[in-house]
Amino acid sequence: MRSATLGLAACLAVGMSCACLAQDQTATARFADTQIGFDPGGNYGNYTLNVTGPNGFHARASSKTGTPSIDLRRFGAYDDGLYNYQLSASTDAKVPLRGALDNGRPPGQPDARLKTVSVSGTFHVKGGMIVKPSTAKPTRHDKDAQ
């Protein structure tokens, strides 16, 4: 059982590091009443914003060009508590795909993909409104984070 747990933890660690290949995502979160949005701070595209919160709250918005925003009220009932957000985007740079997976499809599958960047953080909702967070820096998810 212990080796299975260690194996699962190792797989999750590798999967998380591959899914969050962030590099210099400089987007700045903006909070107003019940809305979260971002100032992009760079030239990115293919944005996806995910927000999760208490009691199974989940909201998702995406945009090809501009940063998406989420108004908590538009996604149904929401409760006071701690919410998490993650904004991911892609740059114009391409990175090679390392895994040669034989998925049974014909040859000609792409050999590269757009480089992914992301930024994440938390915010509190109290009395139905987003509480302005501290000036702490958002969390970067990459090997070069300091």
Please give the pLDDT value at position 22: 42
Is 102 among the domain residues?
A: yes
Average pLDDT of the residues in 57-78: 91
What is the model's pLDDT at position 45? 87
Domain that holds residue 113: 22-131
d(CA 82, CA 53): 6
Q: Which residues pair with 131 in a beta bridge?
A: 124
For the domain that residue 41 is a member of, what is the CATH number?
2.60.40
Please tell me the predicted confidence (pLDDT) of residue 92.
Answer: 77
| 145 within some domain | no
The answer to whether residue 93 sits within a structural domain is: yes
In which order are the strands placed within the sheet that holds 35-39? 28-32, 35-39, 70-71
Has residue 142 been placed in a domain?
Answer: no
- Looking at residue 7, its pLDDT comes to 41
Task: State the total domains in the chain.
Answer: 1
Q: Which tens digits make up the pLDDT trace of 73-107?
A: 998 889 999 999 999 988 877 877 776 666 676 66
pLDDT of residue 145: 53
Q: Answer whether residue 6 is part of any domain.
A: no
